[in-house]
Amino acid sequence: MSDSESAPEILPELSESATRLKRDKLTRVPYNHEGKHPGKRWAQLALDLMFELGNKAIFRRYDADPTPSAEGGVIYVATHINGLIDPMVITRVQNKRVISLGRHDLTTRPVIGWWARRFGTQPVLRRAEVEAGVVDADFARHINDRGMLTVASCLATGHSAVVMPEGKSHQDCKLHALRTGSSRSALASAAIADERGLPAPVIQTVGLHWRTHHWLRTDNYVEFGEPIEIPSIYSAEDRARLVSGEWVEPNHDATRELRDRIFDTLSPMTPDAPDWETYRAWKLLAHIGANKAGTPLKTLAEEVRATRQVRENIGTDENNPMIEQAKEAAEILHKNDLYATALDSSNRLQGKTVSEHLLGLLGLLLILSTLPITLPSSGIQWGLAKFMAEGSDEGLDSRTTYFMLAGMFSPIFFWPPAALLGTYLYAGISVQLVTLYTFILLMLAFYLAASIALSGYDLWSDSASASRRVKLSKSIEGERFHELIEKIHSRLGALK
């Protein structure tokens, strides 16, 4: 039995939105089986800009490996624990035009659906919707085959696709069993490229990493693994049928084999831990070891590699007392909204410096001073994002998605009306050149004020974290934490 087959076979619990089937809209979603991208070029350019703004709004620091070059199309695959954030961070760091597959309601929702359709997103009706009676199997097969052939055709002509092969978003720290959709589209795309004499597409595994994925203003790192070559397994007759616009299922055994190769390559790039408590323990051990060696982990990329080394060296060894000690210590930090970076170079909780206190006050001052601008320009959407994040039934992974959408759509839907109102109040209704200047200046002011307010929030958050560190260090729980760290520190030879 392969690792993919032994992974959790868990169908997603349907959210309210996922149960709203809009057949007419799904039928009208643009598609193309000749290799031409079904989306609008201007929508791609607009979305690229919006992704940059959304990325800057929700992440404090972000990093990515150099994007691997590819002559043909590329299918990017990753685990899916962070809602729409996952495809966003992949899309913004690659340089090909993206064709994407997404849950059916992504293309039919108000506002988001309008953009998704113009971006060329192809809807997917999952087995969970079929088994729940939301949709009949024949219609689901029609929509899915149409979408997969569109994706395959675009990949064959050199575009890229972002696919979450688990077929759902979840909150586990292990890769779930993969659906076959990405493998089927991949094999079909290789066949179409072969038939047309074009460069073969590849599958690019992606590791998505976060300090804490559901925290606002966390850090993000996009890691690229080794590409997976896609074999051409179709007969000449079936390749011709694919090129003519008819979906032909690939060989079952070849599909399963490619799916398992994706699973085996992608799984080590995820946390791949039995639970989040264990993963947090591994991260803490990585920081303790690095501090002891005099090489503190300064970036998330460094932390990911060091944590992976801990996982490979000691994993969940029940005979190693460091595991349980690290789990207990890491949970103390997590319960107090602290991270492994709370340790100083001597592996003690950092104190609060005068500069952190002053910078916290500066951050609060920056937030308050920009309120007259940020409140009318960004206040409504960020308040709405907070309300929807806390009231949604989509799960923890949707939390940052709503803040990302607020950051993305602010310059498009909220700032222009606010700037027009400000221009009217300043210049009146007369059409003058100064009116255009006022509008542009107000738009720039909205952007600068939002950026300054976010920087102020970061400074205030740093100061608040420092206060929590000090409070913890002076508590009985803090004494227990330091006791555990000292025991771990004395056993670090086990990491080598």
Q: How far is CA 336 from CA 229, 340, 397, 467, in A?
A: 45, 12, 21, 11
Does residue 323 share a domain with residue 377?
no
Does residue 230 share a domain with residue 296?
no
DSSP string, 316-345: T-TT-HHHHHHHHHHHHHHHTT--GGGB-T
The predicted pLDDT at position 83 comes to 86
Alpha-carbon span 228 to 258, nearest angstrom: 9
224 beta partners: 206
The predicted pLDDT at position 394 comes to 61
Residue 246's Cβ-side half-sphere holds a number of Cα atoms within 13 Å equal to 7
Does residue 263 share a domain with residue 302?
no
Does residue 254 share a domain with residue 282?
no
DSSP string, 382-420: HHHHHHHHHH-SS-GGGHHHHHHHHHHHIIIIIHHHHHH
The predicted pLDDT at position 315 comes to 79
Q: How far is CA 464 from CA 352, 360, 459, in A?
A: 10, 8, 9
Does residue 264 share a domain with residue 183?
yes
Tens digit of pLDDT per residue, the chain (496 long)?
Answer: 455 555 555 556 677 777 888 888 899 999 999 999 999 999 888 888 999 999 999 999 999 999 999 999 999 999 999 988 999 999 999 989 999 888 888 888 887 888 889 989 999 888 888 888 888 889 988 898 999 899 999 999 999 999 899 988 888 999 999 999 889 999 999 999 999 999 999 999 999 999 998 888 999 999 999 999 999 999 999 999 999 999 999 999 999 999 999 999 999 999 999 999 999 999 999 999 999 999 999 999 999 999 999 999 987 777 788 899 999 999 999 999 999 999 999 999 999 989 999 999 999 999 999 999 999 999 988 888 888 877 766 666 667 888 898 889 888 888 998 888 888 777 655 555 557 788 889 999 999 999 999 999 999 999 999 999 999 999 999 999 999 999 998 887 544 4
407 part of a folded domain: yes
484 part of a folded domain: no
Domain interval for residue 419: 354-473
478 part of a folded domain: no
CATH code, domain carrying 253? 3.40.1130
486 part of a folded domain: no
CB atoms under 10 Å from CB of 488, counted, come to 24
Does residue 323 share a domain with residue 258?
no
The predicted pLDDT at position 327 comes to 95
Residue that is written with structure tokens 């696919």 in the block: 163
Does residue 20 share a domain with residue 136?
yes
Does residue 165 share a domain with residue 286?
no
The predicted pLDDT at position 1 comes to 46
Does residue 95 share a domain with residue 147?
yes
487 part of a folded domain: no
481 part of a folded domain: no
204 part of a folded domain: yes
Q: Which two tokens stand for residue 251?
A: 């060989």
Does residue 140 share a domain with residue 10?
yes
Q: What is the pTM of this model?
A: 0.88
Task: Show which of 269, 287, 305 is a domain's final residue.
Answer: 269
Does residue 289 share a domain with residue 234?
no
φ/ψ of 451, rounded to 5, equals: -65, -45
Does residue 468 share a domain with residue 384?
yes
152 part of a folded domain: yes
Q: Which two tokens stand for residue 154?
A: 């675009």
**Structural domain tally of the chain?**
3
Closest by CA to 363, choosing from 454, 445, 451, is 454
